[in-house]
């Protein structure tokens, strides 16, 4: 089963959980750009982390919602998901 968080899934979560629409390819290309620049605030990121935990049945470290960029978040989340695989 493919469990790794992709930029496409993150883009989809940003839209569904926070109403922030971003092209997955742009998110990947600009993966070091702060979430704030995409229009995602801290509540939005908190909701995305919560949704990932619920969808994957995983516990993601509490500091994940302090990630500033898409790349940082993917690294933190995928470390958890890979460790479980």
Query: Where along the sequence are the contacts to other proteins (CB under 8 A)?
Result: 15-21, 39, 43-44, 46-47, 50, 53-54
Q: How far is the CB of 46 from other proteins (least distance, A)?
A: 4
CA distance linking residue 18 with residue 70, whole number of Å: 15
Structure tokens at 41: 């605030």
Residue 19 or 34: the one with the smaller Cβ distance to other proteins is: 19
Instruction: For helices 42-56 and 7-18, give the axis angle rounded to 10 degrees.
Output: 120
Q: How far is the CB of 50 from other proteins (least distance, A)?
A: 6
Q: How far is the CB of 76 from other proteins (least distance, A)?
A: 18
Structure tokens at 50: 């919560």
């Amino acid at each position: 089963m493919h469990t790794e968080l992709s930029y496409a899934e993150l883009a989809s979560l940003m839209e569904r959980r926070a109403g922030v629409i971003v092209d997955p390819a742009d998110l990947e290309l600009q993966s070091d750009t702060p979430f704030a620049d995409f229009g995602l605030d801290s509540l939005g990121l908190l909701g995305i982390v919560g949704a990932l935990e619920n969808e994957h049945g995983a516990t993601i470290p509490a500091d994940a919602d302090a990630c500033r960029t898409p790349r940082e978040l993917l690294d933190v989340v995928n470390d958890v998901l890979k460790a479980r695989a």
